[in-house]
Amino acid sequence: MAKLLDRIIVVDVESTCWEGSPPAGEESDVIEIGVCTLDLATLERADRRALLVRPERSSVSPFCTELTTIRPDDVADAPTLREACKILRADYASDRRVWASWGDYDRRQIERCCAALGCGYPFGTTHWNAKSIFAVTRRLDREVGMARALALAGLPLEGTHHRGVDDAWNIAALLATVLRASRPAGLPGA
């Protein structure tokens, strides 16, 4: 199956979390997959979407709600991770497109949860670590968090930090600035 190179799928994952260690018997589950596509011809963002996911091995703690704004009721009737993965493949051809996230946490967390829950991994083999790409292209001496990167790029933080849908939107803006800077003048999106 041929890879589609028209868009990059930018993803940000939010997971169940606790102020300290997880309660006995609970493991961190994906509770939101934020998605934003970046059109490679125009470098415009589109398809801003929050895929809420019902946790299967844990619950949303008060700490998690404070951090993400996601409440237990928000995910109580949400699709399972297996269903969310099917949506990603059906609606975004996620298994045939390049995808990106801010760092490797999102990639590893989806891999771990899919393996633990017996879900088919929804993404293809090409993952871009936008955090590393930003640091290298900006000639930074270390990687920085998304909010700091937005400030360095002169971009506003849009929405709520630590909401997957908003973070994916902001990461796509950062990725667009990096790609725009690398294009020769006169090309679309330059």
Alpha carbon distances (Å) from 94 to 8, 170, 181: 9, 19, 26
Name the domain count of the chain. Answer: 1
Residue found by looking up tokens 């920085």 in the block:
144
pLDDT band at 183 (very low <50, low <70, confident <90, very high): confident
- pLDDT of 189 strictly over 90: no
Mean pLDDT of 154-166: 98
pTM score of the predicted model: 0.95
Which residue type occupies 74?
A: D
| Residue 116 belongs to a domain | yes
| Residue 47 belongs to a domain | yes
Phi first, then psi, for residue 44 (nearest 5°) are -100, 145
The pLDDT of residue 1 is 74
| Residue 187 belongs to a domain | no
Asked if residue 141 lies in contact with residue 113, where contact means CB atoms within 8 angstroms, the answer is no
Mean pLDDT of 138-165: 98
| Residue 101 belongs to a domain | yes
Positive or negative, the Cα torsion across 71, 73, 76, 78?
Answer: negative
CATH of the domain at 54: 3.30.420.10
Beta strands per DSSP E along the chain: 4-15, 30-39, 45-52, 97-101, 127-129
- Give the HSE-up count for residue 84: Cα atoms under 13 Å, Cβ half-sphere: 27
| Residue 189 belongs to a domain | no
Can you give the residue range of the structural domain that contains 141? 6-182
**Tens of pLDDT along 101-125?**
999 999 999 999 999 999 999 999 9
